[in-house]
Amino acid sequence: MSVDLPHVFEASPFIEGTQIQFAWDSVSLTSILSCPYRYKLEIIEGWQPRNPNFAIALVFGILYHEGMQYYHEAKAEGQDHEEAIFTSCRKLTQQDTFWSLPTFEEIEEIKEETDDEDDGITLRNSKIRTRYHLLRAVVWYLDNYANDPLETFILPSGAAAVEQSFRVDLPFESGGHPLLLSGHLDRVVTFNDHLYVTDYKTTKSLSRQFFSAFKLSHQFSGYIFGGNISFDRPISGAYIDGIALLVGGAKFSRAPTQRSPGELDEYFRTVKYAADLARTCHETQNYPRNTSACYFCQYKTICEQPPEYRQKYLEMWFQQQPAWNPLRNR
């Protein structure tokens, strides 16, 4: 049964008066399963890096999704491919955030400022996320899939099933409190009379390794489960819609992923475990560090400091933003 929350701009995912999360999504799930201490900093307290790379990557990703949304909505309204591409580019270039992406000139400045002691991350991340790269990725993708076999599902309202949020009851509780699963589907499509969820993923290389990593992804398990509840037809699976961002071009490829009933059951037990773990951490006020998961963690430099200094380094290298909220309207 899907849950319609009241039209509150932003309901809290925590039980009132506590930091015990009851509404879960793949971001918060991945966070606590990686490391409870990371979960505390990222999801409960909302610490995000001050590094501008982080903002550029986030803005680029949001704009790319918006470009796709504008196109599919325009097609659902009756525009043809050419008109819809123009509509998408027109709307993107009317966003203030589009103009906050770097220009080629700014990339040249970054190159000149990058010396031998620099780790080069700012340059590597920025040079494939300029204004030009965004529009190129959008136009090339849409032309590549001009005759897309995955057709956008049209809702009973006549709207395209793009950027669809869902919130569904989970079939179990934690500490006597019901649990919700929320998510956001990039696009729902039909293929051979079956419904699928598609999700855009940008990467540097569309390798077999890239696609195979999503077989165990909680995100796609959640999409398939949530989609099954939210639509009147079962979801047969999901497609990873890969976009390789390169300095001199872009490439595209897709791969399917599915979940058996046994795999979905295993996913439910994982969500229950995560919810119970978050509850225990809150009740004991102990969020232990999983030091075997530090390699890709953005908080590694914080954990490397003595505990009595961590707050100071957090305030220096990170900033508190409104914490990630699975229930935020998008």
Partner 1 sequence: MTEAPVPANPSDVEPLDAYALLSKPTLELSDAEVKTIIAHLRAKREAYVTSGGKKADKRPVAKPAAEPITEEKKADNTSLLLAMLEQQKPEGDN
Helix (H, G, I), strand (E, B) or coil at 108: helix
Going from the C-alpha of 107 to that of each of 32, 120, 202, 247, the distances in angstroms are 36, 12, 20, 11
Candidate residues 26, 125, 130, 257; the one interacting with partner 1 per rule CB under 8 A: 130
| Residue 81 found at the interface with partner 1 (CB under 8 A) | no
Number of residues this chain uses to bind partner 1 (CB under 8 A): 24
309 lines the binding site for partner 1 (CB under 8 A):
no
Give the residue, chosen from 57, 139, 150, 255, that forms a contact with partner 1 under the rule CB under 8 A: 139
272 binds partner 1 (CB under 8 A): no
As beta bridge partners, residue 150 has none
- Count Cβ atoms below 10 Å from residue 264 Cβ, excluding itself: 14
One residue of 93, 311, 319, 321 binding partner 1 per CB under 8 A: 93
d(CA 270, CA 274): 6
Q: Is 85 in the site for partner 1 (CB under 8 A)?
A: yes
Site pattern 213..252 for partner 1 (x: CB under 8 A):
---------------------------------xxxx-x-
* 145 forms part of the interface with partner 1 (CB under 8 A): no
Other CB atoms within 10 Å distance of the CB of residue 138: 23
Verify binding: residue 143, partner 1, rule CB under 8 A.
yes
| 160 SS3 class | strand
The CA distance from 231 to 238, in Å, is 14
What is the closest distance, in whole angstroms, from the C-beta atom of residue 305 to partner 1 in the complex? Answer: 41
Task: Please say whether the dihedral angle defined by the alpha carbons of residues 119, 120, 122 and 124, taken in this order, is positive or negative.
Answer: negative
> Is residue 137 within 8 Å of 64, Cβ to Cβ?
yes
- Do residues 281 and 36 touch, judged by C-beta distance below 8 A? yes
How far apart are the two ends of the chain, measured CA to CA in Å? 21
- Does position 99 bind partner 1 by CB under 8 A? yes
Q: Out of 136, 254, 272, 289, which residue is the one contacting partner 1 (CB under 8 A)?
A: 136
- For Cα atoms 218, 224, 229, give the angle at the middle one, nearest 5 degrees: 125
Q: Return the residue matching tokens 């929350």.
A: 5
Candidate list 89, 189, 197, 327; residue touching partner 1; CB under 8 A: 89
Q: Is 319 in the site for partner 1 (CB under 8 A)?
A: no
104 binds partner 1 (CB under 8 A): yes
Least distance between partner 1 and beta carbon 90 (Å):
5
- Residue with Cβ nearer partner 1 (102 or 226): 102
**List of residues contacting partner 1 (CB under 8 A):** 85-86, 89-90, 93-94, 96, 99, 103-105, 130-132, 135-136, 139-140, 143, 246-249, 251
